[in-house]
Amino acid sequence: MAGSDDWLRAMPKVELHCHLIGAMRASTWRELAHKNGIALPADPELIYANMNSRPADPAAYAHAVVSMAPDPDEVYPDPSFSLLTIYDTAARSVVTDDDFVRLGYEIAEDAARESNVRYLELFYDPTTFFPQGVSFATITDGLIEGFRAAERAYGIRSRLIAAINRAESAALARELLEIVIAERRDEILGIGLDNLETAGPPEKFAEAFAMARRAGLKRTAHTAEHDPHARNIVTCLDVLACDRLDHGYFILHDPAVVARCRDAGIHFTCSFTTSRRSWRAWRRRSIKAMHEAGLRLVLGADDPTMFPTTLAREFAIGRDKVGFSDQTLTQIALNGIDASWLDPGEKQSLRREFTREIARSRATKETV
Site residues for Zn ion per CB under 5 A: 302
Q: Within 13 Å and on the Cβ side, how many CA atoms surround 40?
A: 25
- C-alpha to C-alpha distance for 356 and 351, rounded to whole angstroms: 8
- In the complex with Zn ion, the residue whose CB is nearer, 7 or 119, is 119
CA distances in angstroms from 238 to 120, 162, 296, listed in the order given: 27, 21, 19
Given a contact cutoff of 8 angstroms between Cβ atoms, the answer to whether 225 and 248 are in contact is yes
CB-based contacts of 259: which residues, under 8 Å, 6+ apart? none
β-strand 188-194 against 218-219: which pairing, if any? Answer: parallel
Q: How far is the CB of 3 from Zn ion (least distance, A)?
A: 32
Nearer CB in complex with Zn ion: 95/108? 108
Q: How far is the CB of 222 from Zn ion (least distance, A)?
A: 6
Nearer to Zn ion, 16 or 237 (CB): 16
Judged by CB, which is closer to Zn ion: 23, or 295?
23
Q: How far is the CB of 269 from Zn ion (least distance, A)?
A: 8
What distance in Å separates the CA atoms of residue 149 and residue 155, rounded to the nearest whole number?
9
By residue count, the chain amounts to 368
For strands 218-219 and 222-223, give the pairing: unpaired
DSSP per residue over 104-155, as a string? Answer: HHHHHHHHHHHH-EEEEEEEE-GGGTGGGT--HHHHHHHHHHHHHHHHHHH-
Rank residues 99 and 302 by Cβ distance to Zn ion and give the closer one.
302
Nearer to Zn ion, 21 or 33 (CB): 21
Nearer to Zn ion, 165 or 330 (CB): 165
- State yes or no: cis peptide before 308, omega within 30 of 0: yes
Tell me if 281 sits within 8 A of 69, measured CB to CB: yes
Least distance to Zn ion, CB of residue 27, Å: 23
Q: What is the closest distance, in whole angstroms, from the C-beta atom of residue 299 to Zn ion in the complex?
A: 12
**Could you tell me the smallest distance in angstroms from the CB atom of residue 19 to Zn ion?**
6
Q: From the CB of 249, what's the least distance to Zn ion, in Å?
A: 12
Kindly state the smallest distance separating residue 331's Cβ from Zn ion, in Å: 22
Q: Nearest CA to 354 among 368, 367, 340? A: 340
C-beta closer to Zn ion: residue 141 or 302: 302
Distances (CA, A) of 267 to 233, 238, 244, 270, 299: 12, 15, 5, 9, 10
| Amino acid code (one letter) for 321 | K
Residue with the closest Cβ to Zn ion?
A: 302
Closest to Zn ion by CB, 168 vs 302, is 302
Q: Please state, in angstroms and rounded to a whole number, the distance separating the CA atoms of residues 14 and 115.
A: 9
